[in-house]
Every structure is written in structure tokens, then in C-alpha cells.
């Protein structure tokens, strides 16, 4: 048997210990990894096959190292295993980088959720009104249905029509509540087939009362038959919500026409292009390139995170988010999304 100097270094043994260090290696292997590693090597010996695996080393001072090992059997003419040739690599730096990246992703996800919850908290009155509308309509239609049924000669057709309107109103209320609950939900990113026009329409319904409150006309121009794409629906809802809320905020105090225009269309390279424009105060002079930076805000009560989070979400979907002036007044935000990714089988 031969052990390289690097093997001794990784395990924290003195090369002077010689092969006795091999007998003590399991003591240095992390307790949670020993059984699995012994099973891997035992199977390779029994099957005379290659093996590969990862395990941790726990040094006496508490240091943990991550290793990646591959092994190959050497057979004699009779087909018996003479020896195994193995290579072990210290991959601690890579593992630590992966863990740091995962922690960063989790922090970004948590921050995005906080941003959603904060925005929804600011819109509580508007959302309550939006849910109230279909509930009130359902109550009205229920009373209408009862009147048709309690007449001397019940009108079953009119009663049936009123009942169908109740179902429609109840479904609408349930969908609004479902969308709000999803935006509050905490969880890992989940990719599914997404229809960008559906995202736009849902957010318009959710924020419709807020637009009405400030006498803002909402106009849409949505291209038909846009390709669906794999994306995180909740995150994309957040992007649309941030852009629409920003546009509404920008128009609250302006005189003259207040219009929110949302457009979707096909773009080059199997992409979808969405634009959200308003007739508000426009982009901050000489600071247009700053608006996507974290903590930069032009709102008195703003956190400065909405556009920064929106850009990171769009980029994680293979797209791009940018802003431009909207002639003759206001701002226009664009973002692209890739439709090349397909749904899993």
C-alpha cells in the first residue's frame, strides 16, 4: 500500500506514522459519513467495480474537511482484484462556496418575501375592498335568486342565472384570496409553466381598487398566443406588483391624465417583452441608473428594495429589466423573459 503526502495532510496525520495512519482513518471520518462510505467501498470490492463518493473528515481541533474520492480496481489475469487505485481531493473550498451561495439565495428569498409582505401591508385597504366586491355581489345575487324563487310563479331561468352569478362571484373572491395567500407564502423557489398574460391580468385585478382610488385608467395590450415558460409564479407576480404599484405611486399627485399601460409582445430569441408605463413624475433626473440599486428610493416611506429585488428575479429567469422615459410624461419599465425552457416530462 502507498499513501501520498497529500493524503496524510488531508487527514491531518504525520507521514512518519506510515501505514498505521490508514488503520486510524475511520476515526477521523465524520461519524455521520462512516457507514455510507464503508458500504460504498465494500460494494466496490464485492462487485470489482469503480467507486466514487464524498465524505467529511473531522480533525481533532474540530476542523471539518470535505473530500471527493474516486477508486478503480486493478485485476489480475484471473479476474481477481489485486489492488485499488484511488484519488482523494480536498473540496472544502468548493463546498464552503456552495453553502455560502445557498445561504445568499435563501437571504434573497427571505428579503423578497419581506418586500412582498410590506407592499401588501401598505395595500391592505385596497385588497380588502377588492375581496369585498365579489362577496357583496354574491350576496346581492343570492337575494335576487331568492326573490325569483319565492314568487307566486317562480322563475326558474332567472333564479338559475342568479345562482350562476353567485358561483362566478364566489370563484373570483376565492381566486383573489388565493393569490394574496401565495404572495404571503414563505417557501423555496418553485418553477412551473407560467402564462405572462395571466400574471398581468391577475395583478390588475388584485390592484384594481388602488388604481380606481386615484382615478387612474388602466389600459392593456396583451399579445395573443404567447409561449408559456418555466418560472416561479409567485416571484413574477411580485415583479408585476412592484412595477404596477410604483406606477400608481408616481401618478398619485400629478395633474392631468393618469394612465397605466401594460403591454406584452413577442421579442427576438424566443423571448417575451413586457412594458409597464405611466404618466407620472418620471424617472429622477441624473439618477435614472440608480433606481435599481438596493436602498435607493425616491419615496418618503420607501425601502429602496422593490426594483432591486425585481431585477434579480427577472435575471434569475434569464431576462433583463430596465427603465426609460415615457414621452411626453412619466416612466416606462421593460423586462424580458426567456421562453426556451420547457416543462419537465
Residue ranges covered by each domain of the chain = 5-90, 123-188, 192-345
Of 202, 208, 238, residue with least CA distance to 222? 202
Please report which helix (H) or strand (E) contains residue 322, including its range: strand 320-325
pTM of the model: 0.57
Cell of 78: 484471473
Mean local confidence (pLDDT), 33-57: 91
Contact 141, 165 (CB under 8 A): yes
Contact 30, 57 (CB under 8 A): yes
- Give the whole-angstrom CA distance, residue 42 versus residue 45: 5
- Tens digit of pLDDT for each residue in 11-22? 999 988 888 888
- Tens digit of pLDDT for each residue in 294-342? 555 655 555 556 788 888 888 888 889 998 888 888 999 999 988 765 4
Q: Which residues pair with 338 in a beta bridge?
A: 271
H helices of 78-216, in order, are: 92-122, 124-149, 156-184, 196-213
Q: Give the pLDDT confidence score for residue 344 in this predicted structure.
A: 41
- Give the whole-angstrom CA distance, residue 181 versus residue 201: 17
Q: What percent of the chain has pLDDT over 90?
A: 28
- 5-90: which CATH architecture? 2-Layer Sandwich (3.30)
- Domain 192-345 class, CATH top level: alpha beta
Of 195, 194, 339, residue with least CA distance to 267? 339
Please report which helix (H) or strand (E) contains residue 64, including its range: strand 64-75
- Give the whole-angstrom CA distance, residue 138 versus residue 174: 12
- Tens digit of pLDDT for each residue in 104-141? 777 666 666 776 676 666 667 666 766 777 888 888 88
- Give the whole-angstrom CA distance, residue 325 versus residue 171: 39
- Give the whole-angstrom CA distance, residue 158 versus residue 213: 34
Amino acid at each position: 500500500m502507498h499513501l501520498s503526502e497529500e493524503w496524510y495532510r488531508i487527514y491531518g496525520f504525520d507521514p512518519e506514522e506510515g501505514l498505521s495512519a490508514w488503520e486510524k482513518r475511520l476515526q477521523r471520518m465524520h461519524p455521520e459519513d462512516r457507514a455510507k462510505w464503508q458500504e460504498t467501498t465494500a460494494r466496490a470490492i464485492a462487485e470489482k467495480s469503480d467507486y466514487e463518493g464524498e465524505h467529511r473528515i473531522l480533525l481533532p481541533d474540530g476542523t471539518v474537511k470535505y473530500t471527493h474520492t474516486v477508486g478503480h480496481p486493478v485485476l489480475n489475469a484471473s479476474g481477481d482484484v489485486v489492488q485499488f487505485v484511488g484519488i482523494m481531493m480536498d473540496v472544502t473550498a468548493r463546498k464552503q462556496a456552495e453553502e455560502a451561495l445557498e445561504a445568499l439565495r435563501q437571504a434573497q428569498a427571505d428579503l423578497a418575501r419581506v418586500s412582498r409582505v410590506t407592499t401588501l401591508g401598505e395595500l391592505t385597504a385596497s385588497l380588502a375592498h377588492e375581496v369585498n366586491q365579489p362577496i357583496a355581489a354574491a350576496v346581492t345575487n343570492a337575494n335576487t335568486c331568492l326573490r325569483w324563487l319565492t314568487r307566486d310563479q317562480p322563475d326558474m331561468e332567472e333564479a338559475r342565472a342568479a345562482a350562476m352569478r353567485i358561483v362566478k362571484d364566489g370563484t373570483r373572491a376565492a381566486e383573489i384570496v388565493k393569490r394574496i395567500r401565495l404572495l404571503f407564502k414563505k417557501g423555496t423557489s418553485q418553477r412551473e409553466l407560467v402564462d405572462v398574460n395571466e400574471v398581468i391580468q391577475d395583478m390588475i385585478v388584485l390592484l384594481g381598487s388602488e388604481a380606481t382610488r386615484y382615478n387612474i385608467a388602466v389600459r392593456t395590450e396583451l399579445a395573443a398566443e404567447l409561449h408559456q415558460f418555466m418560472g416561479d409564479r409567485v416571484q413574477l407576480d411580485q415583479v408585476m406588483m412592484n412595477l404596477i404599484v410604483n406606477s400608481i405611486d408616481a401618478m398619485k399627485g400629478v395633474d392631468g391624465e393618469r394612465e397605466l399601460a401594460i403591454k406584452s409582445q413577442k421579442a427576438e430569441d424566443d423571448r417575451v417583452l413586457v412594458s409597464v408605463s405611466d404618466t407620472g413624475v418620471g424617472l429622477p433626473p441624473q439618477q435614472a441608473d440608480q433606481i435599481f440599486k438596493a436602498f435607493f428610493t425616491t419615496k418618503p416611506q420607501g425601502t429602496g428594495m422593490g426594483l432591486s429585488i425585481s431585477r434579480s428575479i427577472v435575471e434569475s429567469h434569464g431576462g433583463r429589466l430596465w427603465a426609460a422615459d415615457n414621452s411626453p410624461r412619466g416612466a416606462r419599465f421593460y423586462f424580458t423573459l426567456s421562453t426556451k425552457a420547457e416543462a419537465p416530462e
